[in-house]
Amino acid sequence: MMLSSQIPMDPEGPTERLCTWVESLKYRDIPAEVITRAKYLILDGLACGLIGAHLPSSEKAATAIMDLEAASGSASVFGWERKVGPLSAALLNGTFIQGFELDDWHRDAPIHSNSVLLPALLAAAEHYSRKARCNRDLSCSGKHLLLAYVTGCEVGPRVGLGLWGTHVLSKGWHSGAIFGPSAAAAAVAKLLGLSAAAIEDALGIACTQAGGLMSAQFESEVKRMQHAFASRNGLLAAVLAKGGYVGIKKVYEREYGGFLSMFSSGNGMVPQFKPEEVSKDLGVKWEIKNIIVKPYASMAGTHCTIDCMAALRTLYPGKTRDFSNFESIRIEMSEPAYHHGGWKAVRPLTSTGAQMSNAYVGAVYLVDEEVTPIQFRNDKLDRDEVWRLVDITTCEYNPEYSKSPQDKARTKVTITLKDGSPLSHEKGAPRGVRPPLSNREILEKWRAITKGIIDEERRNRIEQVVLSLEECNDIVAISQLMTGLTTNPLA
Distance CA 462, CA 469 (A): 10
Q: pTM here?
A: 0.91
Distance CA 412, CA 331 (A): 6
Whether residue 158 has pLDDT greater than 50: yes
To the nearest whole percent, how much of the chain has pLDDT over 90?
Answer: 87
Give all domains of the chain, ordered by start, each with its CATH number.
Answer: 3-293+465-482 (1.10.4100.10), 300-427 (3.30.1330.120)
Q: Provide the pLDDT for residue 255.
A: 95
Over residues 83-101, the pLDDT tens digits come to 999 999 999 999 999 999 9
Over residues 346-373, the pLDDT tens digits come to 998 988 899 999 999 999 999 999 998 8
Q: Provide the pLDDT for residue 11.
A: 79
- Residue 114's pLDDT band (boundaries 50, 70, 90)? very high
- Residue 408's pLDDT band (boundaries 50, 70, 90)? confident
Over residues 165-206, the pLDDT tens digits come to 999 999 999 999 999 999 999 999 999 999 999 999 999 999
Over residues 235-280, the pLDDT tens digits come to 999 999 999 999 999 999 999 999 999 999 999 999 999 999 999 9
